[in-house]
Amino acid sequence: MKIAVSILNCAYNEKEIIEKINASDADFLHVDVNDGKFLPVPKTHYEFLHTSTKPLNVHLMVTNPFEYISYFTSLKVDEIIFQVELDEDINALINYIKSKGVKCGLALKPQTEVSTIKSYLPLLDAVLILSVNPGKSGQAMIESTLIKIDELRSLRNENNYKYEIIIDGGVNDITIDKVQGADIVVSGSFICKNGDIQAQLDKLRL
């Protein structure tokens, strides 16, 4: 299982946390992008990301993803993920991201069913399951969302799809056992608010 570290809520400034993640064995730096429309409290600058030596896993929680794609594909981006609940042409967004040479994924809010994205699954490199309501770090995992892991694994196996399954929300040393069917976990406050970044990562890898 791979681990992506989210810096939405951490005990350090941006420069310090990037340096600490660079020095760790984290697999990705997870970046939540919010325009203040899809969710409240916008974050408007990401210039510090160029100092990351980890591949960037970017989650666009915005109402118009097209406005952000060119900027983030100019960085060291491994993957761009956006919300399926948008009133946008999902196929056009997927194709546009892939045309930039970047992997593409869709994210599901806790209340959004896997059936919503079945037609897109052949095109995807990742599906991100939000196991908390988006917008606030440090929430408890909504365990009823974890059934989506099994649903997505079954669909992948039955159809030979290639997407990775990502869990984002409430991942810590207690809940990690509940999400072993995922390929990637995103963990934020558990890793970034507890001192030793590597020690916290080690707890998730046991």
Q: Domains in the chain, please, with CATH? A: 2-205 (3.20.20.70)
Active site (annotated) includes residue 35: no
This prediction has a pTM of: 0.94
Whether residue 3 is predicted with pLDDT greater than 80 in this model: the reply is yes
Out of 11-20, 64-73, 153-162, the most confident range is 153-162
Q: State the Cα–Cα distance between residues 181 and 170, nearest whole angstrom.
A: 16
Query: Which is it for the CA torsion 184, 185, 191, 192, positive or negative?
Result: positive
What amino acid occupies position 75? L
Q: Which of the following is catalytic: 168, 173, 177, 196? A: 168
Please check the confidence at residue 38 and state whether its pLDDT lies above 80.
no
**Spatial contact of 88 and 112, defined as CB atoms under 8 Å apart:** no
Q: What pLDDT is attached to residue 94?
A: 97
When pLDDT is cut at 50, 70 and 90, the band that residue 137 belongs to is low
Higher pLDDT pick, 206 / 171: 171
Residue 201, pLDDT > 70, answer yes
* 176 vs 42, more confident: 176
Residue 69: pLDDT band with limits 50, 70, 90: very high
Among this protein's residues, is 168 annotated catalytic? yes
- Active-site residue, from 25, 27, 32, 177: 32
